[in-house]
Structure 1
Amino acid sequence: MSANSPEPLRRVDVVLLKAGRTKIRYEAGLLTDDGNRVTVRAPWAGEGVRDFGFVRFEPGDVFTEHYWRDRWYAVKEVRSSDGTLKGWYCDITRPATLDGAELVVEDLDLDLWVSADGTEVLRLDEDEFEESGLRERDPAAASAATTALDELDTLAHTQQWPPSS
């Protein structure tokens, strides 16, 4: 490879855990790792089309995903196959770990959607979070999760979006 050729992307497996089990695993290209924030890019890893009503994830969509080692969330920029920004899907998670070629995050059920134009900010799955039993099992994690959701919601409503490193 010549000095002017870009380095090939390092591949990592994104492993999303939920309730101690692997919810989904998919391959992504590692874009950056500054020691705190890890950014990867991957095609939509779900089966077929997933229509949430406020957005559709479908084959050809590209996700640029930002994970932090010190924050309780992940922010995923979603673009259609033609590059049009659909918005940002945010998972409330425990801080991420990158161990070798595995980027591991634990989903804590809470989510936030921010539309491409920033006019729609939706808090999602709060009922699932309450039913998960996390408040009883791990009150500190439950508190960190709700604080993270509130932080993202505030950032989205104050035009400080998306969150920076």
Structure 2
Amino acid sequence: MSVRSAESSLTVTLVKGGRTKIAYPAVLVHDDGTRVTVRAPWAAPGVRDFGFVRFEPGDVFTEHYWRDRWFAVKEVRTGAGVLKGWYCDITRPAEIRDGVLLVEDLDLDLWVSADGSTVLRLDEDEFEESGLAGRDPAAAREAVRALDGLERLARAEGLAGLLAVPPEHPCADAQLI
């Protein structure tokens, strides 16, 4: 397996319901063929206040995507480097094509605060309304399984351990969830 660590750029494209939700430039930090890590500034215009966290200009996201897992984990820091927490998107496994990191959002999300004291399941109503369970029951099961697994991991030991294993380490390919 070739491990690629480079300061090259990719476009992260998040698709939802067959349409592009957002696309933004990111710097490729690491790609080992299974896990892809990119870094990007907060890409949406202005501030997004969720009540439990604010994403705002200057925030930096280090985003971890897997080609064999149904989630992405985004470490969120202020521009000064202070950890805010982890925002997890439940997605189909990521693909890279022609400089585009393509990810299909399946509506479920998880927020884990920096100190691990807050773990929130998000958008379960949107997931139900999406109709995925009727259109693609296998994908819906994988999405729920991924959310449940990430929540268990976050509550038991936190997400930092999932991300701390160097991508080239032999344990990095193990299914932790």
Q: TM-score range by the shorter chain?
A: over 0.9
1-structure distance, mates of 2:155, 2:29 = 28
State TM-score, norm by structure 2: 0.88
1:66-121 deviation per Cα after TM superposition (whole angstroms, max 9, x unaligned):
00000000000000011100000000000000112000000000000000000100
Give the match for residue 98 of structure 2.
100
Gaps in structure 1 of 5+ consecutive residues:
1-6
Gaps in structure 2 of 5+ consecutive residues:
164-171, 173-177
Give the match for residue 71 of structure 2.
73
Give the match for residue 175 of structure 2.
none
2-structure distance, mates of 1:143, 1:83 = 36
Give the match for residue 35 of structure 2.
37
2-structure distance, mates of 1:82, 1:107 = 29
Give the match for residue 89 of structure 1.
87
Alignment equivalent of 2:51, drawn from 53, 58, 72: 53
State TM-score, norm by structure 1: 0.94
How far residue 18 of structure 1 moved from its aligned partner, in angstroms, is 0.1
2-structure distance, mates of 1:161, 1:8 = 24
* Residues 1:8 and 1:126: Cα distance change in structure 2 (over 3 Å): closer
Give the match for residue 127 of structure 1.
125
What amino acid does structure 2 have at the position aligned with 1:108? L
Give the match for residue 17 of structure 2.
19
CA RMSD of aligned residues (A): 1.1
Give the match for residue 143 of structure 2.
145
Task: Report which of the two has the higher share of helix.
Answer: 2
How far residue 60 of structure 1 moved from its aligned partner, in angstroms, is 0.2
2-structure distance, mates of 1:65, 1:157 = 20
How far residue 62 of structure 1 moved from its aligned partner, in angstroms, is 0.1
